[in-house]
Structure 1
């Protein structure tokens, strides 16, 4: 049995594993929340923009399970379990850094991708074989209080000189037309959605990187405890 300072490290490692259980649950919750928000506008985003929150969910599940191994290894003073825990925790640490870095890298590309995809999607509004695109446009314009990719006048190309989607007018009845002369949203949806998504990406990046650095302490404690256990075995 480890003695002195290493005994303290042993129980600190056990306590940190409880924290890891909480952080794992937090990663799952944040990843699921951001993924759900991004999925609402999947027609305007590429697959890579949903990869960061998915990665956080996967990492959260792994951390949640891995924490039990760390607890058992610390209490039983099992060298193999503690070292396996340290190695796997380091891998998780790297994955979280990747998720955080991807979030910040993609943040700068969001507006460019949105502008291109929205322009392409506008022509499919109200087409019978593109009901999902129509619903996405209406939900976005109503929720984010915007109209058109850059401005409301862009709808002229697809809906005529005066007509706008009903969702461009605040509180408009879907059965009644919305026109350019009515009170309508003036902000472009590219700017509105880019701002909305960038906020969510910052949350993903901040949580991922923040928790990753907390885990460094767990890795250090695991290595110290494993070294002490190994010395005990060598003495015996």
Structure 2
């Protein structure tokens, strides 16, 4: 069947406007189909200044992210290194405290109140001092170990504060000792002479054993002289530990068979001769405590930085 001219004119496409390619216009009846923009328009679209800004901004964000990630990794690595050092230090600290505590308990169980020479401070014995020191050192080491393993800021800060208090207390005692040496000497001699009257009495086994060991090992007698014992016995006699050759009731013999050196001065001279060893021990103790303080504060700061970087 042949179409009429009127029908054909209905479907005839109108000519395209000059300067435009034929095709479907933007917003035409077929949504999403557009005319070919051409190479110049495409080049203009991809090289527009607005697109360059987006690319540069994205690169800046990527660089900042990588930089922060690297800083976070470095902080984590430093934290792990300090953590292991802190744990090893506090483990040794804790083991040392356990050893001191064990020696104190052994002395208390086997020797009684050994080395209790002071009558004013009867509880100031070697066993009690070791037990107290060992307990405190063990507790500090335990807090430090747990704080290092858990990376807990509160425990690390508590360890730092406790160790700092111990260090300051020891430093203060050392300064006071050297500042008041003469007064301490006079008080110590007076207190030791008072303690001689408790020698051999019931309930003072520790003091009796301590004086016997000191006079035998240091070959001395009395605090400042062997005559100090005359006031104790109200007679011309001394303990048997003062004898040049020990035998039963040798303290009743003539003074020529007794040690003449005063125990206080003898022990004092012995300490002065071994002052280097005492000083080295004190410096090592102070160095260990300073290292503990340094490790604790360093790890605390690293934990804070790691939390800030990796938050």
Scaled to the shorter chain, the TM-score interval is 0.7 to 0.9
Corresponding residue to 1:94 among 146, 159, 164: 164
Deviation string 1:192-233 (CA, Å, 9 cap, x unpaired) is 445678979868754542222011321232123212222134
Task: Say which is worse superposed, 195-204 or 94-103, in terms of deviation.
Answer: 195-204
Mark the CA change 1:227 to 1:57 in structure 2 (over 3 Å): closer, same or farther: same
TM-score (norm 1): 0.73
Deviation string 1:32-63 (CA, Å, 9 cap, x unpaired) is 768969x5221326357878755532332123
User: RMSD value over aligned CA atoms?
Assistant: 3.8
Q: Which residue of 1 aligns with 2:17?
A: none
Q: Which residue of 2 aligns with 1:77?
A: none
Q: Which residue of 2 aligns with 1:222?
A: 299
- What is the SS of the residue equivalent to 1:59? helix
TM-score (norm 2): 0.58
Contact 1:27-1:57 at 8 Å conserved across structures: yes
Work out the CA distance in 2 between the residues paired with 1:26 and 1:143.
28
Contact 1:43-1:136 at 8 Å conserved across structures: yes
Aligned-pair distance for 1:164? 2.1
Higher relative contact order (CA 8 A, sep 6+): 1
Mark the CA change 1:195 to 1:17 in structure 2 (over 3 Å): closer, same or farther: farther
Work out the CA distance in 2 between the residues paired with 1:220 and 1:15.
13
Structure having the larger proportion of residues in helix: 1
Mark the CA change 1:129 to 1:226 in structure 2 (over 3 Å): closer, same or farther: closer
Contact 2:163-2:289 at 8 Å conserved across structures: yes
Task: Say which is worse superposed, 164-173 or 132-141, in terms of deviation.
Answer: 132-141
- Number of equivalenced pairs: 226
1:3-18 equivalent positions in 2, closer than 5 A: 3-18=73-88
Corresponding residue to 2:289 among 209, 212, 219: 212
Q: Which residue of 1 aligns with 2:253?
A: 179
